[in-house]
Amino acid sequence: MNEFLMICERIVPEIVSVLKERYKILNHLVYEEPIGRRTLATATDLPERTVRSHIELMRANGLVDIYKPGIFLTDEGHSIVPKLRNFLNELDRINELEHRLTEALHIDRVIITPTEGTLMVKKLGFAAAKLLQELLEPDSVVAISGGSTMAAVAEEMPVLPFNPIVVPARGGVGEVVEYQANVIASVLAERLRGTYKMLHLPDGLSQDSLHMLMTCEPQIKEIGDLISRTDVLLFGIGTAMRMADQRHIADDVRKQLVDNHAVGEALGQYCDIDGKLIYSTNNIGLSLPDVAKIPNVIAVAGGQDKSSAIIGVMRACQKGILIIDEQAAEGMRQLLQISAL
């Protein structure tokens, strides 16, 4: 049911408005039948022509009958009203939580997807891929980070002729090849019939080494220039200590992260729950402070264990569209002390 709610709201929003209008009619009939069409239109604050259209269709589907005294609910119509009420209440709850999280984080928008067990990452990837299609323009520069969620975005993207240039958001190599930003950029570029550039640089290089590479290696300078022109940025969010383990961060830095209560990591930047940056890895590419100058920003993460990480990273960004699952949303609601809906 939750997945169907999301499909209705994201893909065919007019279905939701039709459902709400028909529910308004059916619910009024529960309390006041029989009733004439004109009186029903006045009572529900809907145009009479709209009411006529809805009544005709619901009559054909066996939900209402029309007799001389007026319009009646059938037995099936009576039984469906509470089910439809629960359906719409759940939809309204999700919309309201999205709105409250958006306001609490001071960002552009929050999108909540269903938590579907092992399918959670796939659902997040699907939602992000759909949003990217809405934001893309031909020949855009798209920067994408690494990780399993970003890999799902690329996998869920249908083949479309947008012809973007896709680049990794930062240098760096991971232990799982499929989750490396370079590989994900190549898959996404293929799906969008675009081109891609790779950036093979490990994290942790000294500033002197990075400066030398940028000045002496034309290919790296070219990619760095492309990244700085990013039109759409997609990135994942990780928990601070898990990402520190993955990057084999030195013990003294780990202590710095623990002592300063780091909770989240994105784009090589570690931050606390208030969005204060605690530590940054040296690399070429985008970082959280760069988000402010990028036109379109999409952050994607899921799981209740990431709730504090997501809050910290999005407070550091102060903009963008956040795509999360229901478990992460509920965990964030509690941490942000948003009243239960």
The tens digit of pLDDT for each residue in 44-71 reads 889 999 989 999 988 899 999 888 888 9
Determine the pLDDT at residue 128.
94
Q: Where are the beta strands (DSSP E) in 177-331?
A: 195-196, 232-236, 238-239, 264-266, 269-271, 277-280, 296-300, 321-325
Q: What is the mean pLDDT of the chain?
A: 88
**Domain architecture of the chain: domains with CATH:** 2-94 (1.10.10.10), 106-335 (3.40.50.1360)
* pLDDT greater than 80 at residue 260: yes
Q: What are the Cα distances from residue 68, in Å, to 34, 37, 65? A: 9, 12, 10
Instruction: Summarize pLDDT for 151-168 with one digit per residue, the tens.
Output: 999 999 999 999 999 999
Instruction: Summarize pLDDT for 23-50 with one digit per residue, the tens.
Output: 888 988 887 778 888 888 988 889 999 9
Instruction: Summarize pLDDT for 304-318 with one digit per residue, the tens.
Output: 999 999 999 999 999
Question: Average pLDDT for residues 318-338, to the nearest whole number?
Answer: 95
- Which one-letter DSSP state was computed for residue 264? E
* pLDDT greater than 90 at residue 214: no
The model carries a pTM of 0.79
Strand order across the 321-325 sheet: 109-113, 321-325, 296-300, 232-236, 141-144, 165-168, 195-196
